[in-house]
Amino acid sequence: MKRGILVSQFSTLENYFTEKREAHLEELKQFLRIPSISSLSEHKEDMQKGAQWLADSLSKAGLENVIVDKTSGHPVVYADWLHAEGKPTMLIYGHYDVQPVDPLNLWETEPFEPQVRDNKLYARGSSDDKGQVFMHVKAIEALLQTVGTLPVNVKLLIEGEEEVGSPNLEEYIENNKEKLAADVIVISDTGLQGPGQPAVCYGLRGLCGVQIDVKGAKSDLHSGLYGGGVQNSIHALVSILDSFRDAEGTIEVEGFYDNVRPLLEEEQEAYKALGFDEEELKKEVGVNELFGEKGYSHLERVWVRPTLEINGVFGGFSGEGIKTVLPSEAGAKITCRLVPDQDPDEIVTKLRAHIEKNKPVGVTVTVTEFDKGKPFITPFDHPAIQAAGRSYEKVYNVPTAYTRGGGSIPIVAAFDEILGLPVVLMGFGLSTENFHAPNEHFHLENFDQGLRVIGDYYYELAGLSKEDLKK
Cβ 453 to Zn ion shortest distance, Å: 18
- Which backbone phi and psi does 221 adopt, to 5 degrees? -120, 155
Q: Which is nearer to Zn ion, 128 or 183 (CB)?
A: 128
What percent of the residues of the chain are helix, what percent strand, and what percent coil, each to the nearest 5? Answer: 40, 20, 40
- Per DSSP, helices labelled H in 243-365 are 265-272, 278-285, 298-303, 344-357
Q: Which is nearer to Zn ion, 126 or 342 (CB)?
A: 126
Q: Which is nearer to Zn ion, 141 or 159 (CB)?
A: 159
Q: Which is nearer to Zn ion, 35 or 383 (CB)?
A: 35
Query: Is 440 one of the binding residues for Zn ion (CB under 5 A)?
Result: no
Cβ 162 to Zn ion shortest distance, Å: 5
The single-letter code of the amino acid at 28 is L
Which residues face 78 on adjacent strands? 67, 157
Task: Return the H-helix or E-strand segment holding 126.
Answer: none
CA distance 135 to 188: 9
Cβ 26 to Zn ion shortest distance, Å: 23
User: How many angstroms separate the Cα of 275 from the Cα of each of 198, 271, 282, 371?
Assistant: 14, 8, 15, 35
- HSE on the CB side for 150, CA within 13 Å? 31
Q: Which of 374, 375, 469, 373 is nearest to 422 (CA)?
A: 469
Cβ 95 to Zn ion shortest distance, Å: 6
Question: For the window 245-284, what string marks contact with Zn ion as x by the rule CB under 5 A?
Answer: ----------------------------------------
Number of residues that bind Zn ion (CB under 5 A): 3
Cβ 416 to Zn ion shortest distance, Å: 18
Question: For the window 167-196, what string marks contact with Zn ion as x by the rule CB under 5 A?
Answer: ----------------------x-------
Residues 213-252 that bind Zn ion (CB under 5 A): none
Q: Which is nearer to Zn ion, 183 or 189 (CB)?
A: 189
Q: Which long-range contacts (CB under 8 A, 24 or more apart) does 21-24 make?
A: 21/448, 24/134, 24/138
Cβ 460 to Zn ion shortest distance, Å: 24
Task: Return the H-helix or E-strand segment holding 470.
Answer: none
Cβ 287 to Zn ion shortest distance, Å: 30
Q: Which is nearer to Zn ion, 128 or 300 (CB)?
A: 128
Exposed/middle/buried for 40, CB within 10 Å: 0-12, 13-18, 19+? middle
Angle formed at CA 299 by CA 296 and CA 304, multiple of 5 degrees: 75
- Which backbone phi and psi does 116 adopt, to 5 degrees? -95, 125
Exposed/middle/buried for 237, CB within 10 Å: 0-12, 13-18, 19+? buried
Cβ 435 to Zn ion shortest distance, Å: 7
Q: Which is nearer to Zn ion, 189 or 440 (CB)?
A: 189
Cβ 94 to Zn ion shortest distance, Å: 8
Q: Which of 90, 88, 3 is nearest to 466 (CA)?
A: 88
Q: Which is nearer to Zn ion, 161 or 267 (CB)?
A: 161
Q: Which DSSP symbol is given to 90? A: E
Q: Which is nearer to Zn ion, 76 or 336 (CB)?
A: 76
Cβ 440 to Zn ion shortest distance, Å: 11
Residues 370-399 that bind Zn ion (CB under 5 A): none
| Inter-residue contact 209 to 333 (CB < 8 Å) | yes
Give the distance, in angstroms, between the CA of residue 99 and the centroid of all CA atoms in the same chain. 15
Residues 115-134 that bind Zn ion (CB under 5 A): 128-129
Q: Which is nearer to Zn ion, 189 or 300 (CB)?
A: 189
Cβ 169 to Zn ion shortest distance, Å: 13
Q: Which is nearer to Zn ion, 120 or 305 (CB)?
A: 120
Instruction: Identify each DSSP E strand in 397-461 by its residue range.
Output: 401-405, 423-425, 441-443
**What residue ranges bind Zn ion (CB under 5 A)?**
128-129, 189
